[in-house]
Chain A
Amino acid sequence: MSASSNPAASQREHFTFAGTGAVISFTTLQETPENFEEQSPYTLALVKLDEGPVVTGQLTDLDGAVQIGDRVEMVTRKLMTEGAKGMIVYGYKFRPVLPRA
């Protein structure tokens, strides 16, 4: 880690997350930003990762109603398109943890 004049920054550690967690709140947006319109409506959630931190992300591959406490796992998906000729942005979303075969 490089030296920093910011004590808070110099004390930071990097963690790798397993990508699994539980939904602690969720909502389905009926009014969405322009760049997300083609996916509207979509479901956004607060996911508490198993390691502790909470992140904001979309739920995807949903098959049925979501409930607080649902287990989810991180997947890579298309997030948005920046207009007709703009970039297609990919990032993380969360899907329900699939039952083991």
Chain B
Amino acid sequence: MRDVSIIGIGRIPVGEHWESSLRMLAAEAASAALKDAGITAVDALYVGNAYGATYSSQLHLGALIADYAGLGGIEAFSVEAADASGGAALRAGYLAVASGLVDTVMVLGVEKSTDSIGSARVQARTISLDADYEAAHGATLPALAALLMRRYMHEYKLELGVFEGFSINAHANGALSDYAMFRNKIKPGRFAVAPMVSEPVNLFDGAPDGDGAAAVILTAAVHAADMVPLPVRISGSAAATDTLTLHDRSDMLYLRAVNQSANKAYAQAGIQPEDVHLFELHDAFTILSALTLEAAGFAERGQGWVLARDQGITLTGKLPISTFGGLKARGNPAGATGVYQAVEACLQLRDQAGANQVAGARTALIQNIGGLGSTVVTHVLQV
């Protein structure tokens, strides 16, 4: 096993890129990451993509993107774990370099979400649910998140408004970033009265689907310092799974895979939750943010929303989260999201986050979730 570092990062703004195809978005992020690392080739490409089959009628992305991005001939394939595909691809890249079998890897997340619209996009997204026991009954991910959120509100006797801090923070941070899909701010009090998508999940709660591509380049830590001025070490990498469906969990208000993957990553990095300077969590829904903070060791059960209410998650708070807007305001390019999290964490650790900078950030936690905690991939990044 060798230590692994990130030596290059690239991303494009998340949004509606109707002028570009999936391969064009991917090539743009690939080229930016190579330029940042000061290299022109890598030994392998691992692509994170979740909905290429249904959004883009395109699989076989490894060969497609390696060729189009000018990396032709190298080992290349995609990794799929629903919305955790990007994090899973990063994990695959980490394993490849750590094993000593591959020297330099590009991990690239890409999703072209907005070529389908309305009920066709909703349908396309159901491919990551349980086809027989959820999707066949008309379930969608926002609806399942709503079932989880209503249960949480019922158990802990909470009003919808207690979750508003997550969305206010995400949009406040997104407003500072040129790469965010939404740069509008949400005023206190507006969250609870937003139009419903699937009650209690509303328009200001669920993250928007966006087109995006992001890439990071990994190599052995021993070489990294000679290649770039500010390598970022991957000091923890772990993945865990829980039941695919919500209804099969004995305790659905506890995200077991969040806990397991976070604890493994903490142990590998030799850190505790209180050592984390910022946390790019998977804020696809505010209920996921609250339950994540509880299961990852930042809040007691039933208290995950309190940090958000008390300004604890802002750029100057005790635990800054969603520092570039998170999924909610940066946008959620599904299979690319986990790689965006890595890029954003690297910018923070390299002190290159501009208006979004968390002062003195040395340890970042990133966590990418597929479904409502069915796949959870956690990484600790440090400088």
Residues of A within 8 A of B (CB): 24-37, 39-40, 42, 44-46, 53-58, 68, 79-80, 89, 91, 93
Contacts and interface: CB of A to CB of B under 8 A. Distances in A.
Given A29-B198, A33-B122, A91 B137 contact: yes
Which 4 pairs between the two chains have the least Cβ-Cβ distance?
A27-B146, A33-B123, A34-B123, A54-B247
The secondary structure that dominates the A interface is strand
B138 A33 contact: yes
A78 to B, nearest CB: 11
Contacts of B143: 27, 29, 44
Interface string B82-120: 000000000000000000000000000000000000011
B143 to A, nearest CB: 5
Contacts of A53: 247
Interface of B: 119-120, 122-123, 126, 133-140, 142-144, 146-148, 150-151, 154, 195-201, 245-248
Contacts of B139: 44, 56
Given A26-B147, A27-B150, A80-B136, A56 B123 contact: no
Contact of A36 (B138, B142, B144, B247): B138
Contact of A31 (B134, B140, B147, B151): B140
Given A30-B197, A34-B119, A55 B247 contact: yes
A25 B151 contact: yes
Contacts of A34: 119-120, 122-123
Contact of B140 (A32, A80, A89): A32
B198 A27 contact: yes
A30 B154 contact: no
Given A34-B119, A56-B134, A45 B197 contact: no
A29 B197 CA distance: 6
B138 A46 contact: no
Q: Which of A24, A29, A34, A56 has most B Cβ within 10 Å? A: A56
A29 to B, nearest CB: 5
A25 B198 contact: no
A42 B123 CA distance: 15
A22 to B, nearest CB: 13
A47 to B, nearest CB: 8
A27 B147 contact: yes
B138 A28 contact: no
A55 B245 CA distance: 9
B247 A29 contact: no
27 contacts: A25-B147, A25-B151, A26-B147, A27-B198, A28-B196, A28-B198, A29-B197, A29-B198, A30-B198, A31-B140, A32-B119, A33-B122, A33-B138, A34-B123, A42-B138, A44-B139, A44-B198, A53-B247, A54-B247, A55-B133, A55-B247, A56-B139, A79-B136, A79-B138, A80-B138, A91-B136, A93-B137
Contacts of B142: 29, 31
Given A36-B138, A56-B134, A79-B137, A27 B246 contact: no
A30 B148 CA distance: 17
Given A30-B196, A33-B126, A58 B147 contact: no
A55 B248 CA distance: 8
A89 B120 CA distance: 19
Contacts of B134: 56
Contacts of A45: 147
A26 B142 CA distance: 12
Contacts of A37: 119
Contacts of A24: 151
A28 to B, nearest CB: 6
A56 B137 contact: yes
A31 B198 contact: yes
Nearest to B245: A56
B140 A29 contact: yes
A30 B135 CA distance: 16
Contacts of A26: 147, 150
Given A31-B142, A80-B138, 4 more contacts: A29-B140, A34-B122, A45-B147, A46-B247
A68 B150 CA distance: 9
A55 B198 CA distance: 19
A12 to B, nearest CB: 14
B197 A31 contact: yes
A56 B247 contact: yes
B123 A29 contact: no
Contacts of B122: 31-34
